[in-house]
């Protein structure tokens, strides 16, 4: 039987851990006004032979959450991953300028699907579930000079597809279609909240 907290002590939520070092995901999760810590996952992110971009994102999100959960028994752990998809081929983080140029040149005038997966794991109960958000992004027919100007200002070399939509990258785009608005930035908060509720944390409910 669960005992109530002693008189005079505030109720406590389950510990929450974000299994990611991404500053974008930290900023997004902070919007839920939940206390959380951060632990970097130790996962090989190499795609498997024949693995589709959506499958890759889902697998890595769950593997990251499980890896971090193994070091935080009793905590609720969030893992996430994003893979950009152009004609069925994954587009990762460019890492450097010339690769970012090549990515944006390949995507201009085209539609790219960003597969953003989130997984939540709670090792003490065996809870482990994931959800996928898909964002269809249509890029403008960008001139080389526009691409160069954007990259010099933003340097989005740690962003899948080189498109940092929350700042100047929005000017690269014609259209964004998604049912989870923050998915393109790296963490679909609607789906994250759904999984957190199932695992035992509801951002809108004070713990009893």
pLDDT one-digit tens code per residue, 12-26: 689 999 999 899 999
Q: What CATH number has the domain spanning 16-199? A: 3.90.950.10
Domain positions in the chain are 16-199
d(C-alpha 176, C-alpha 178), whole Å: 7
Bridge partners for 90 per DSSP: 85
pLDDT one-digit tens code per residue, 88-132: 888 888 999 999 999 999 999 999 999 999 999 999 999 999 999
pLDDT over threshold 50, residue 10: no
Cα torsion at 63, 68, 69, 72 (round to 10°)? 170
Cα torsion at 81, 41, 156, 131 (round to 10°)? 10
The confidence score (pLDDT) of residue 161 equals: 85
* Residues designated as active site: 81
* Residue 159, number of CB atoms within 10 A of its CB: 25
pLDDT one-digit tens code per residue, 60-86: 999 999 999 999 999 999 999 999 999
pTM: 0.86
pLDDT one-digit tens code per residue, 131-190: 999 999 999 999 999 999 999 999 999 888 888 888 899 999 999 999 999 999 999 999
pLDDT over threshold 50, residue 57: yes
What ranges in the chain are assigned the alpha helix state H? 23-30, 53-69, 97-107, 144-154, 189-199
């Amino acid at each position: 039987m669960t005992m109530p907290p002693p008189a005079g002590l505030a109720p406590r939520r389950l510990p929450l851990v974000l299994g990611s070092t991404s500053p974008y995901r930290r900023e997004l999760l902070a919007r839920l006004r939940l206390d959380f810590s951060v632990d970097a996952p130790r996962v090989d992110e190499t795609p498997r032979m024949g693995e589709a971009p959506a499958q890759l994102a889902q697998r890595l999100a769950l593997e990251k959450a499980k890896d971090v959960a193994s070091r935080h028994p009793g905590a609720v752990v969030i893992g996430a991953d994003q893979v950009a998809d152009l004609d069925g081929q994954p587009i990762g983080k460019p890492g450097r300028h010339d690769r970012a140029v090549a990515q944006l040149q390949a995507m201009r005038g085209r539609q790219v699907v960003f597969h953003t997966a989130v997984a939540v794991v709670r090792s003490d109960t065996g809870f482990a579930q994931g959800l996928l958000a898909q964002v269809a992004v249509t890029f403008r027919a960008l001139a080389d000079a526009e691409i160069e100007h954007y990259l010099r200002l933003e340097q989005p070399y740690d962003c899948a597809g080189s498109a940092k939509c929350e700042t100047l990258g929005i000017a690269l785009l014609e259209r964004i279609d998604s049912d989870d608005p923050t998915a393109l930035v790296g963490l679909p908060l609607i789906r994250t909240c759904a999984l957190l509720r199932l695992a035992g944390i509801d951002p809108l409910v004070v713990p009893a």
